[in-house]
Amino acid sequence: MDRPKNDELLTEQKVSTGHESSGVDSSRRRIFGAGVAAPIILSMSSRTAWGGALCAPSAFNSATFASHHPGDPACSALAGARPSTWAASPGAWPAAYVADSSIGAPTSDSEQQTACQVQATTAGYAYAGYYVDASSTVYCRGPQTQSFNAIFSVNTLPPETSLLEVLLTKPNSSIESHAVAALLNAASGKITLGLVSGGTSVVERKVIDIFRALMNGSGYTLPETGQVVFWDTDPNGVGLTMQGYFDTYAE
């Protein structure tokens, strides 16, 4: 089920609280650099980054925010679809991204190549090969301009690896699978990361920037505090890892 759009969430918040919280324009954008507000208090929380399409991880991790916005409806509901959900529903992908096409059970290499070459020609892009998932289903890769490495500007996977291939062949807990899910969530409007203006393309760009920084090993720098956070380690003693935020979704 699609998440409500920004204006719908804002309307729900106004009805529930009787006023429009100024946190929508300040407190919820801090971690992603869309605005500067009160200092962030970084203490681990059981909440998730996707808990409410308008909320950024800093909002969940801020004792200041929690104490001033108890029960905020825009931050209490989960948002976004998990990697396994996107893997199981390629037909529901946002139009900006092409999911690979399945051609069924494996045959010979030459037959699979021929079938995928025909699909690529018909779709109007260059043949990029095929792969077989864990269920022995053959998939023809989509356009290589949409490969994982090309989109995230990294070299962490074989260069031909597609977005759906990541979801079908990497563990659901991997940073690559969460990166793909976050990108598709952003492109479909299921998450906004607290960025309430600029449209889905702005959120997509921010998702790409965050995961590229996490995957290249340099970590992501929190714009307001200058603290550097990593995927599954905390060498700087910040008190959080980004992996902790990417484990609970609405779908």
222 vs 203, residue with greater confidence: 203
Q: Which domain holds residue 202?
A: 6-82+181-245
Confidence of residue 196 (pLDDT cuts 50, 70, 90): low
The pLDDT of residue 33 is above 80: no
Pair 74, 189 in one domain: yes
Whether 149 is in a domain gets the answer yes
Number of domains the chain is built from: 2
Whether 218 is in a domain gets the answer yes
* 56 burial type by CB count under 10 A (0-12 exposed, 13-18 middle, 19+ buried): buried
Pair 218, 170 in one domain: no
pLDDT tens, position by position, 71-107: 444 455 567 889 999 999 999 999 999 899 899 988 8
Nearest to 57 by CA among 208, 199, 194, 212: 194
Pair 68, 186 in one domain: yes
Strands (E), 93-134: 101-104, 130-132
pLDDT tens, position by position, 133-144: 888 999 999 998
Whether 87 is in a domain gets the answer no
The pLDDT value recorded for residue 120 is: 92
235 vs 22, residue with greater confidence: 235
- The whole-angstrom separation of Cα 242 and Cα 49 is 9
Sign of CA dihedral 145, 106, 172, 80: positive
Pair 186, 78 in one domain: yes
Cα distances from 105 to residues 117, 131, 243, in angstroms, run 17, 11, 35
Whether 53 is in a domain gets the answer yes
SS (H, E, C) 200-223: HHHHHHHHHHHHHHHHCCCCEECC
Overall average pLDDT of the 195-223 stretch: 84
Pair 164, 191 in one domain: no
User: Residue 52 in contact with residue 74, Cβ under 8 Å?
Assistant: yes
Confidence of residue 168 (pLDDT cuts 50, 70, 90): very high
Pair 54, 12 in one domain: yes
pLDDT tens, position by position, 125-166: 999 999 998 889 999 999 988 999 999 999 999 999 999 999
Pair 168, 191 in one domain: no
pTM for this predicted structure: 0.73
- The whole-angstrom separation of Cα 157 and Cα 77 is 34
Highest mean pLDDT among 60-69, 142-151, 236-245: 142-151
Whether 251 is in a domain gets the answer no
The pLDDT of residue 32 is above 90: no
Question: Beta strands 220-221 and 138-140: pairing type?
Answer: unpaired
Pair 74, 190 in one domain: yes
Whether 175 is in a domain gets the answer yes
Pair 63, 186 in one domain: yes
